[in-house]
């Protein structure tokens, strides 16, 4: 099974939220270019579900939407939030939004806006 960041990145590409990894989608760090990009970062999840002979991880994942156009960034963040909220069989067993909406985190030093969408996965 791939790590949660890779799974989320693959799903964002297959659902046409971005062009491709390395073009406008990156793991872990915001890049100076392109202007509009998505960043996927693992986040603290919930404690694993334990049984007598197994444990099921419940990781979290964050998608950062970066863009100098606040309207475009907010629209993309909402589209991602709405698409992945409470889906089964897309990423592992299920994915759902960890918050009721995306969170605006402000402007970066270069004037681009940063919005985060948080998810829980099982």
The pLDDT confidence band at residue 116, using thresholds 50, 70 and 90, is very high
| Domain CATH number, residue 95 | 3.30.2000.10
- Dihedral sign for Cα 37, 102, 96, 81, please: negative
Q: How many domains does the chain have?
A: 1
- Tokens (6 digits) for 68: 């100098």
Identify the DSSP state of 86: T
The values of phi and psi at residue 22, to 5°, are: 90, -15
| Full domain range(s) for residue 91 | 4-46+55-121
Q: What is the C-alpha separation between 91 and 97, in angstroms, rounded?
A: 13
Beta bridge partners of 111: none
* pLDDT value of residue 2: 60
Q: What angle do CA 80, 45, 58 make, to 5 degrees?
A: 90
For 27, counting Cβ atoms within 10 Å of its Cβ (0-12 exposed, 13-18 middle, 19+ buried), the class is: middle
The pLDDT confidence band at residue 91, using thresholds 50, 70 and 90, is confident
- Tokens (6 digits) for 1: 């099974």
Beta bridge partners of 114: 66, 106
pLDDT tens sequence across 49-89: 667 787 667 789 999 999 999 999 999 999 999 999 988 88
The values of phi and psi at residue 75, to 5°, are: -65, -45
């Amino acid at each position: 099974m791939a790590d949660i960041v890779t799974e989320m990145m693959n799903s964002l590409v297959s659902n046409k939220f971005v062009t491709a990894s390395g073009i406008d989608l990156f793991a872990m760090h915001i890049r100076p270019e392109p202007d509009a990009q998505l960043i996927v970062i693992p986040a603290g999840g919930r404690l694993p579900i334990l049984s007598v002979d197994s444990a099921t991880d419940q990781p979290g994942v964050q998608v950062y939407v970066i863009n100098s156009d606040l309207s475009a960034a907010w629209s993309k963040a909402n589209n991602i939030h709405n698409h992945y909220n409470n889906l089964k069989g897309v990423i592992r067993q299920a994915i759902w939004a960890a918050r009721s909406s995306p969170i605006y985190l402000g402007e970066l030093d270069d004037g681009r806006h940063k919005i985060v969408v948080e998810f829980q996965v099982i």
